[in-house]
Structure 1
């Protein structure tokens, strides 16, 4: 379909909650394709629909795009829900919508996520390490949260990216 611009903070769409979707909706299939095209053209490993201006609950995650990561390969989930989280730890995190900064946030090392495939099948994904972080990050986007909202102290935990 098309490579879409990634919305940048403080765009209001990034702070909104988003609607559940039906896999049978042709508009949803178009959003998924735009997200796949946009992710392929970006330096990121995951993307949520609100980041390209669609107020719907769709995420795409492919942590294998990061050197040294294996993960599950490309995962597309509609209406994802985190079922369980384990092993909290502090991690350095960034975001395509906040390109100039990274920050220390608390995330979980293991995540169990359920959602629908674009074909409408219910799937459960068990992710650990960087993959678990990516799923948590993208589901946060669907709930109007950015990693900036999870930083304890902007003065000590937010860092300007090196160019």
Structure 2
């Protein structure tokens, strides 16, 4: 497994619509393994392929935060939302592509998704709580949408400026 660099906003690749995964092969399995390792190392609870520069419809997540509990890594290939609840939930979201920035985002409290597993099986599952928030957040990435897009223009602009400054600082550190 290889840890992959995570793109930082603003990056044009984070705003692109991702292409469907055409085949589940060794390269895709390696990508999924790398993404899970990168997500856990970050640390985070979800990571979408465009965040590591791969514009394919794939994301990984594991919302188990209790270190004593067994991890529950999930790999969702070509996910689609099949239902959302009318009830909503507001959660303070963050993003590995927008480090150390958090904001309240309101989303449907529950969501049902259908996706293909690494074994090629099509499954459908309903998520609630943190799992629902994470699944919707990562799904948004596949459509070129960040949690910042749910914020007002001033807050979004303030966070974007902070990310631009962070990218400049990191660029200077590499020299």
TM-score bin, normalised by smaller chain: 0.7 to 0.9
Matched with 1:78 is: 77
Alignment of 1:129-148 (within 5 A): 129-148=129-148
Summarize deviations over 1:30-51 as a string: whole Å, max 9, x none.
2112111211211100100011
Distance 1:117 1:23, change over 3 A: farther
**TM-score, scaled relative to structure 2:** 0.81
Matched with 2:38 is: 38
Task: Tell which deviates more after alignment, 138-147 or 41-50.
Answer: 41-50
Unaligned runs of 5+ in 2: 163-175
Q: RMSD across aligned C-alpha pairs, in angstroms?
A: 2.2
Distance 1:152 1:105, change over 3 A: farther
**TM-score, scaled relative to structure 1:** 0.87
Matched with 2:24 is: 24
Decide whether the 8 Å contact of 1:23 with 1:29 is kept in 2: no
Summarize deviations over 1:57-106 as a string: whole Å, max 9, x none.
11111000x249x8x92111100011111111322111110013111221
Give the structure with the larger strand fraction: 1
Unaligned runs of 5+ in 1: none
- Helix, strand or coil at the partner of 1:47: strand
Distance 1:126 1:120 in 2: 19
Look at both structures and tell me which one has the larger radius of gyration over its CA atoms: 2
**Aligned-pair CA distance for 1:127:** 0.8
Moved over 2 A (4+): 22-27, 152-156
